């Protein structure tokens, strides 16, 4: 058996050589913000890999930083992972579930001479740590007796020591070329309530210490994470090896039975996308400073934003699949994301005619009061979706920008004297332009050719332009929201010196139009999707209660497929 990426190759190897006899992964979000498109990649890798090997994947909330975390985020993360189509069954865990175990192991490390209480503060800690090019030096407390450290650690836990006065460090190697191994902090005092454990704890384990323990107790085999943790892997292994050695030597029996095998950490490159920032800190800033209208603003790269914009779970999974898994950082073209949703919707979605910026056309040779009922295709890509009836009469709307009074060369849309086809209806010719006293065009007066019914050429004469249209009398008023990339900077990692992300926000990234739609849309319900002919794919917004509101999911123009078919 062969894997389809390097992670799967490792797993296949581990199964073949007997290191593990099952596959168990976990997705470990920190509940300090909403999940984003980068997390989609991680969710798909973790849950997808487990599915592939008929194993399991846990959902673990990494809630080791009580100050920044909130239940709102826990709820949204659950909802988003489910919506993506993955199931953690009853295996929902929290790093805070293991605080007792982490504490117990910490005492054990102290007794074994593998951890000590240090009282260095702020600048001194950094100074003692050394730099990338020079070794650190030992803390003055490094060799204090284990019993002394233990007593202080217990006082810390009892709340008898103030924040910053003491912390627990692993005793590893202050001269290690890997800074993470220079006696890293593993427990610190934080006198804040935790969203799950309340006031039970005033000491909290560090992520690098709690994470391997969480993986181990849950029986995780493959702890898949992003590349920035590569340099933390030696610490991950140190924590596990030291505790396991104490247990194996018989000198210590933990209060809980630990799995026999230790987990293995594997790193992959995180997703970066053009025109997109993904750090939760920055996303939170966008929300808190009202640069967007919430975490689920359709311009946000959050799962909730993408969902509201009209992305489907399958299109996001397809995207995750197409970007693949690599070991080196790169940046993915956002057009690929657009391509994935467009491809999917093209096959299935009902077409409708909508005029975003209407101008009225009066057909002067059409009898007043006469109506014609025309058949129009629901989806030319899928004829099984049938046809629907649309009414055509004397007054219709077309797009304001489908008309030019003074057209440039090769302009095939409407201008005075020019003939165009109205989609599925008739040919019309512009005879007269009506303006108000400010010179703004208010109406176009046209004539039609009765022989061109259905938009067919009556006498083989060439009419190049085809415009979509909406009948005035039964038009439905709708609100349409159009979106552009929130950021104008193509590569967010290449932000120039002295500039902030907020300098690159596109103020016109959300545009609201009051549009005229064919009557079909009056029946649109939340979650419905349509292709508005010539405008793109649209999704009914949750604001659609009194008035109908549609979000543009994506436009029709495909620059990704085009670029990639040329190469």
Do 454 and 465 meet the contact criterion of CB atoms below 8 Å apart?
Answer: no
**Residue 271 touches which of Mg ion, ligand ATP, none (Cβ within 5-8 Å per kind):** ligand ATP
**Residue 136 touches which of ligand ATP, Mg ion, none (Cβ within 5-8 Å per kind):** none
Q: How far is the CB of 209 from ligand ATP (least distance, A)?
A: 15
Look at residue 198 and give its three-state secondary structure: strand
**Residue 305 touches which of ligand ATP, Mg ion, none (Cβ within 5-8 Å per kind):** none
Q: How far is the CB of 26 from Mg ion (least distance, A)?
A: 15
456: which 2 tokens? 């067919």
Angle formed at CA 103 by CA 240 and CA 162, multiple of 5 degrees:
130
Q: How far is the CB of 30 from Mg ion (least distance, A)?
A: 4
Q: How far is the CB of 325 from ligand ATP (least distance, A)?
A: 10
Site string for Mg ion, 310-339 (x = CB under 5 A): ------------------------------
Q: How far is the CB of 281 from ligand ATP (least distance, A)?
A: 6
CA–CA gap between residue 553 and residue 313 (Å, rounded): 13
Using the rule CB under 5 A, give the single segment among 24-32, 136-144, 234-242, 389-397 that binds Mg ion.
24-32
Q: Which positions lie near ligand ATP, rule CB under 6 A? A: 28-30, 38-39, 41-42, 225-226, 270-271, 278-280
Residue nearest to ligand ATP according to CB distances in the complex = 38
Other CB atoms within 10 Å distance of the CB of residue 352? 25
CA–CA gap between residue 27 and residue 48 (Å, rounded): 11
- Given the structure tokens 């039964």, which residue do they identify? 474
Alpha helix stretches (DSSP H) within 353-455: none
CA–CA gap between residue 24 and residue 46 (Å, rounded): 9
Look at residue 563 and give its three-state secondary structure: helix
Do 292 and 283 meet the contact criterion of CB atoms below 8 Å apart?
Answer: no
**Residue 29 touches which of ligand ATP, Mg ion, none (Cβ within 5-8 Å per kind):** ligand ATP
C-alpha count within 13 angstroms, C-beta hemisphere, residue 131: 2
**Residue 41 touches which of ligand ATP, Mg ion, none (Cβ within 5-8 Å per kind):** ligand ATP
CA–CA gap between residue 481 and residue 174 (Å, rounded): 57
Q: Does 284 bind Mg ion (CB under 5 A)?
A: no
Residue nearest to Mg ion according to CB distances in the complex = 30
- Nearer residue to ligand ATP within complex by CB, 75 or 401: 75
Q: Which of 3, 5, 6, 30 binds Mg ion (CB under 5 A)?
A: 30
* Catalytic machinery residues: 30, 270, 280
Do 314 and 492 meet the contact criterion of CB atoms below 8 Å apart?
Answer: no
DSSP state, residue 121? -
Q: How far is the CB of 28 from ligand ATP (least distance, A)?
A: 5
- Nearer residue to ligand ATP within complex by CB, 109 or 323: 323
Sheet holding 466-467, edge to edge: 466-467, 419-422, 427-435, 441-449, 358-363, 395-399, 470-471
- Nearer residue to ligand ATP within complex by CB, 225 or 475: 225
- Nearer residue to Mg ion within complex by CB, 35 or 390: 35
Task: Provide the binding-site residues for Mg ion, judged by CB under 5 A.
Answer: 30
């Amino acid at each position: 058996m062969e894997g389809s990426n390097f992670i799967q190759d490792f797993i296949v190897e581990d199964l073949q050589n007997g290191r593990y006899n099952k596959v168990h992964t976990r997705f470990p979000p920190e509940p300090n913000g909403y999940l984003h498109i980068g997390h989609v990649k991680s969710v798909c890798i973790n849950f997808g890999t487990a599915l592939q090997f008929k194993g399991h994947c846990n959902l673990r909330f990494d809630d080791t930083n009580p100050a920044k975390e909130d239940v709102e985020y826990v709820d949204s993360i659950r909802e988003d992972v489910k919506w993506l189509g993955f199931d953690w069954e009853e295996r929902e865990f929290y790093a805070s579930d293991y605080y007792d175990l982490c504490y117990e192991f910490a005492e054990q490390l102290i007794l074994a001479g593998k951890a000590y209480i240090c009282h260095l503060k702020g600048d001194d800690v950094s100074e003692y740590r050394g730099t990338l090019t020079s070794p650190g030096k030992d803390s003055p407390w490094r060799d204090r007796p284990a019993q002394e450290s233990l007593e202080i650690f217990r006082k810390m836990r009892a709340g008898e020591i103030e924040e910053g006065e003491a912390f627990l460090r692993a005793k590893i190697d202050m001269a290690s070329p890997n800074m993470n191994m220079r006696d890293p902090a593993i427990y610190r005092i934080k006198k804040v309530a935790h969203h799950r454990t309340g006031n039970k704890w005033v000491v909290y384990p560090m992520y690098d210490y709690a994470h391997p323990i969480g993986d181990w107790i849950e029986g995780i085999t493959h702890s898949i994470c992003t590349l920035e943790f590569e340099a933390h892997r030696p610490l991950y292994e140190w924590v596990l090896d030291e505790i396991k050695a104490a247990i194996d030597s018989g000198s210590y029996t933990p209060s809980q039975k630990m799995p026999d095998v230790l987990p293995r950490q594997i790193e992959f490159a995180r997703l970066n996308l053009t025109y997109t920032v993904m750090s939760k800190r920055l996303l939170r800033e966008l929300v808190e400073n009202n640069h967007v209208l919430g975490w689920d603003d359709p311009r946000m790269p959050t799962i909730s934003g993408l969902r509201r914009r009209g992305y489907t779970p399958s299109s996001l999974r397809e995207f995750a699949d197409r970007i693949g898994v690599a070991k080196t950082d790169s940046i993915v073209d956002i057009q690929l994301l657009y391509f994935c949703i467009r491809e999917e919707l093209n096959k299935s979605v009902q077409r409708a005619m909508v005029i975003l910026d209407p101008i009225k056309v009066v057909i002067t040779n059409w009898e007043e009061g006469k109506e014609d009922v025309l058949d129009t295709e629901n989806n030319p890509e899928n004829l099984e979706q049938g046809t629907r009836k649309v009414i055509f009469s004397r007054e219709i709307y077309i797009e304001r920008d489908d008309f030019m009074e003074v057209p440039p060369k090769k302009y095939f849309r409407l201008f005075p004297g020019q003939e165009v086809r109205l989609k599925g209806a008739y040919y019309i010719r512009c005879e007269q332009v009506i303006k108000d006293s400010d010179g703004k065009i208010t109406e176009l007066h046209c004539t039609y050719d009765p022989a061109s019914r259905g938009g067919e050429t009556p006498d083989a004469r060439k009419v190049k332009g085809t415009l979509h249209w909406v009948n005035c009398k039964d038009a439905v008023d709708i609100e349409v929201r159009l979106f552009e990339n929130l950021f104008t900077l193509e590569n967010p990692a290449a932000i120039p010196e002295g500039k902030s992300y907020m300098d690159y926000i596109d103020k016109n990234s959300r545009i609201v139009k009051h549009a005229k739609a064919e009557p079909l849309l009056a029946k649109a319900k939340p979650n419905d999707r349509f292709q508005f002919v010539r405008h793109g794919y649209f999704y009914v917004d949750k604001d659609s209660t009194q008035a109908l509101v549609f979000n543009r999911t994506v436009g029709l123009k495909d620059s990704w497929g085009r670029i990639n078919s040329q190469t």
